[in-house]
Amino acid sequence: MSAKKRMGSGKRNYDSLVFWMVILVILIILWSISTSSGDKIEKIEFSGFLQQAKSGNISSVEIEGQNLTFSVKTDTLVINGKTLDTKATKFKTVLPDGYAADLVKGLSESYPDLKIEVKKPAEGGWLNLLITWLPLVLIFVFWIFIIRQMQGGAGNKAAFSFGKSKAKLFDDNKQKKVTFKDVAGVDEAKEELTEIIEFLRNPKKFQKLGGRIPKGALLVGSPGSGKTLLAKAVAGEAEVPFLSISGSDFVELFVGVGASRVRDLFEQGKKLAPCLIFIDEIDAVGRHRGAGLGGGHDEREQTLNQLLVEMDGFDANEGIIVIAATNRPDILDPALLRPGRFDRRITVTTPDVKGREAILKIHAAKVPLKKDVELALTARSTPGFSGADLANLINEAALKAAKEGREEVLQEDVEYAKDKVMMGSERRSMIISNEEKNITAYHEAGHALVALLMPDSDPIHKVTIIPRGIALGLTQQLPTDDRYTLSRRYLDAQLAVLMGGRIAEEVFLGTMTTGAGNDLKRASSLARKMVCEWGMSPLGPIAFEQKEEMVFLGKEISSKREYSEATAVQIDQEVKEILLSAYQVAKKILSENRDVVEGIAKALLERESLGSDEIAAILRQEKGDDAFANVYKVLRSEGDIEQVQEEEAPPVTEAEEEPKDEAEEVHG
């Protein structure tokens, strides 16, 4: 592999050198032509000039320092046995030292009609040199700039190589090697990719049983889940050449370039076979063909068509496996996803608690942690975090420790980083009036108490009235376990928590603010899903609405409503009943625990942030030790056992957003 690589690199360097030499020669010729005059200059001895002067054959004389240029009257002149056409020829000679003045005087007296021009010797040799060579240099620089622009900045490639692939060949000698040991939390994906690598290393093991090598594997997952890292690990583990390219590298200004680059990419792969080709963000060229109101993008579709042919056409590309990554599998063309092209679809999910702990250990190995730092506790308190989020968490903790001059990262640094990643940076410099602080404190106290007393709600993690990110205040809940299904009880509890802020404003302040806008929006969306998608209403187990489809992906411009107007009215009524029920539940909790809400709000105004233990202490102080034995269990009779399949639930944060304009302020 290395020999092929060196040969290819040497050939490209040689071609590039030859090209630039040709360009330089052409520019020098053009410069010479442009700077040359129309007359030919013939050098002769000074005695030759004196001979022509004595015979009266001089028509004009030009003297510049010791250089003398003259022309003659006759049409021809014999010099050194060579006949010259004097109409297009001037003669040049060098004057002896101190002879110029006497010569001019003598010629003027002898030939009054003779045209004599005397110029001052040129000064500033460097200036003349600069003036002479500056146009050539500017032309050369201009050509280099134009060619580099045409090549997309690839200065080491031959000019006009638009159709050449921009794929990079992985070199474990120059690039940092990433292996499967550096990847955690995606064991299933690692297992499938390991099988592909083994197939390339020992294909006879599978072929003797009639198995054929897979054509491609598609890595699907949310941003930050580790798709590109997995590809890098494959490059580090594979003992075969690994070519990597981005989907956007196929897109170019010129027509047909994308398809040409696809062909060149697979030509490189054939020369290096068996090999792996990795295409990152394949959705840049793999979108639905003919999508959108105005038809498809012809250039992109040509590129996709060529990719389809190369992956599974008449000319089989044996020994080439294509690995692609995307976070938008829904927009890919169906022809790209069929067996024979991408045979395997590998889902890269967000890690569970064990996966998160393993990821934290990998990133923490590069950071000096104090021995009492509990990464397992951090893993349990970060459900829904991707690998990128966890890497960012460790980095933020290290930055905080370095900022405060410590040599080790403490547990408090990790907790600070977790809050910063989840809720945003604190903005203590933001000026907020006492009235707004009071409203925010009661608003968040309402969220906190309802979340604390509802038995199926996620536990309270932290409540703060310190502005973070775009929020004026936050009530943060963290699930104790990873959730993959959401029960009716859990959803009812979430709705009640969302209503707690608005009700606290009404009950304790006698007013309403725009702070509950985001809460009401989320609650309404959740209640509508309960009715229309999850069948959690008296209307029955019926899905009334389909997910919205996007026109630019080739979907319908308008959606069909497959139910009557009467059913639509019933849906709206059921959504309203669910929301009002949650409203009444939250209002009952807050009304019967006014002293607790007052205590939480007062503590928030004093300390600005409260943890779950501090809130529980306030509840025990006001209600006694048996306060948690009398939690409210208000559930709809028809919603006791329903569950809905969902993705892992992220941490729930009730946020108070900043005012969007001068007349509007938003609380969480």
pLDDT over 60 (residue 7) = no
Distances (CA, A) of 448 to 232, 430, 599: 44, 24, 12
Cβ contact 296:285 at 8 Å: no
Task: State the pLDDT at residue 492.
Answer: 93
d(CA 284, CA 129): 52
Range of weakest confidence among 292-306, 561-575, 603-617: 292-306
Task: State the pLDDT at residue 645.
Answer: 36
pLDDT category, 263, cuts 50, 70, 90? confident
pLDDT over 50 (residue 18) = yes
pLDDT over 90 (residue 585) = yes
- Compute how many other C-beta atoms are within 10 angstroms of the C-beta atom of residue 192: 17
As a whole-number percent, the residues of the chain with pLDDT over 70 amount to 73
Task: State the pLDDT at residue 257.
Answer: 78
User: Which residues, 6 or more positions from 123, have their beta carbon under 8 angstroms from its beta carbon?
Assistant: none
Highest mean pLDDT among 25-34, 321-330, 447-456, 575-584: 575-584
Q: In what order do the strands lie in the sheet with 609-611?
A: 609-611, 460-464, 471-477, 652-657
Task: State the pLDDT at residue 500.
Answer: 92
- Compute how many other C-beta atoms are within 10 angstroms of the C-beta atom of residue 197: 18
pLDDT over 50 (residue 635) = no
Token pair, residue 442, equals 């009661």
pLDDT category, 370, cuts 50, 70, 90? confident
Task: State the pLDDT at residue 146.
Answer: 66
- The catalytic residue positions are 444
d(CA 260, CA 66): 63
Instruction: Taking residues 162-176, report their average pLDDT.
Output: 67
pLDDT category, 395, cuts 50, 70, 90? very high
Write down the residue that tokens 């109409």 correspond to. 87
pLDDT over 90 (residue 157) = no
Token pair, residue 222, equals 């949310």
pLDDT over 70 (residue 129) = no
Q: Is 222 exposed, middle or buried (0-12, 13-18, 19+ CB in 10 A)?
A: middle
Task: State the pLDDT at residue 640.
Answer: 37
Instruction: Taking residues 260-281, report their average pLDDT.
Output: 86
Distances (CA, A) of 351 to 186, 281, 356, 385, 389: 7, 21, 6, 7, 11
Distances (CA, A) of 255 to 104, 124, 265, 412: 69, 52, 17, 56
Instruction: Taking residues 24-35, report their average pLDDT.
Output: 64
Highest mean pLDDT among 100-104, 122-126, 415-419: 415-419
Instruction: Taking residues 235-242, report their average pLDDT.
Output: 81
pLDDT over 60 (residue 464) = yes
Write down the residue that tokens 């940076």 correspond to. 425
The pLDDT tens digits for 303-313 are 888 888 888 76
Token pair, residue 527, equals 């209640």
Write down the residue that tokens 């993690």 correspond to. 461
Write the DSSP assignment of 467-519 as a string of letters.
-BTTEEEEEEE--SS--SEEEHHHHHHHHHHHHHHHHHIIIIIS---GGGHHH
Token pair, residue 435, equals 């009235």
Instruction: Taking residues 116-143, report their average pLDDT.
Output: 69
Task: State the pLDDT at residue 112.
Answer: 77
Distances (CA, A) of 60 to 36, 44, 91, 115: 21, 16, 11, 5
Instruction: Taking residues 284-294, report their average pLDDT.
Output: 70
As a whole-number percent, the residues of the chain with pLDDT over 90 amount to 12
pLDDT over 80 (residue 608) = yes
Instruction: Taking residues 502-525, report their average pLDDT.
Output: 90
pLDDT category, 174, cuts 50, 70, 90? low
**585-617 b/e with 16+ CB inside 10 Å = b?**
bbbebbeebeebbebbbebbbeebebebebbbe
Token pair, residue 256, equals 């047909």
The pLDDT tens digits for 190-221 are 888 888 888 877 777 877 877 777 888 899 98
Task: State the pLDDT at residue 424.
Answer: 75
Task: State the pLDDT at residue 629.
Answer: 47
For residue 274, say if its preceding peptide bond is cis, omega within 30 degrees of 0. Answer: yes
Task: State the pLDDT at residue 186.
Answer: 84
Looking at per-residue confidence, does 96 or 605 come out higher?
605
d(CA 508, CA 590): 9
pLDDT over 80 (residue 124) = no
pLDDT over 70 (residue 238) = yes
Highest mean pLDDT among 414-423, 494-503, 634-643: 494-503
Average pLDDT, the chain: 77
Strands 82-85 and 76-79: what pairing? antiparallel
Task: State the pLDDT at residue 303.
Answer: 84
The pLDDT tens digits for 532-558 are 988 898 888 888 865 555 444 445 444
pLDDT over 80 (residue 571) = yes
Instruction: Taking residues 134-160, report their average pLDDT.
Output: 60
pTM value?
0.63
Looking at per-residue confidence, does 558 or 497 come out higher?
497
Helical residues (DSSP H) of 238-320, grouped into ranges: 257-272, 298-311
The pLDDT tens digits for 426-457 are 776 667 778 888 888 999 989 999 988 888 88
Instruction: Taking residues 358-387, report their average pLDDT.
Output: 87
User: Which residues, 6 or more positions from 46, have their beta carbon under 8 angstroms from its beta carbon?
Assistant: 68, 93, 94, 95, 96
Task: State the pLDDT at residue 90.
Answer: 79
| Phi, psi (rounded to 5 degrees) for 468 | -130, 125
Any idea of the CA torsion for 321, 326, 331, 336, to the nearest 10 degrees? 0
**End-to-end Cα distance, the chain:** 59
Range of weakest confidence among 173-187, 409-423, 647-661: 647-661
